[in-house]
Amino acid sequence: MSGLTPEQVQRVVELAMDLAREGRTEQLLEFVDHGLPVNTTDEAGNSLLMLAAYHGHAGTVRALLDRDADPDLRNDRDQSPIAGALFKGEEEVVRVLREAGADLDAGTPSARAAATMFGREHLLG
């Protein structure tokens, strides 16, 4: 994202985060394919993958993983994308992240602990 002012970079990141939250995969991938690092984070350390996972957008999660997003990149609160998906009960997102090798023991709480807390152990089985 060379050639952009810090303000412009911040705005691009904000737009990309909104696209991840909304599951607007095609538009989000345009940002990534044109130079936005796939593991970009917001001011709270949430990655594009984290926001897509938390909001239940399995297709977006899969597309980001296909572009080498880190399935274990935790936010500033030490939360992992898979733990966020478990918290929200997003079964398909959990499955996609498990298939990508997400660490079930990383973060606070870990995915295993989140599954137990919310009675969703079956999503890890």
- For 34-60, the pLDDT digits (tens) are 999 999 999 999 999 999 999 999 999
Where are the domains positioned within the chain? 6-124
Of 36, 30, 83, give the one whose Cα is nearest residue 60. Answer: 30
Q: What is the pLDDT of residue 32?
A: 97
- For 67-107, the pLDDT digits (tens) are 999 999 999 999 999 999 999 999 999 999 999 999 999 99
Q: Which helix (H) or strand (E) holds 81?
A: helix 81-88
Q: Are 116 and 85 in contact (CB under 8 A)?
A: no
Q: What is the pLDDT of residue 125?
A: 78
Which fold does the domain 6-124 belong to in CATH? 1.25.40
pTM: 0.94
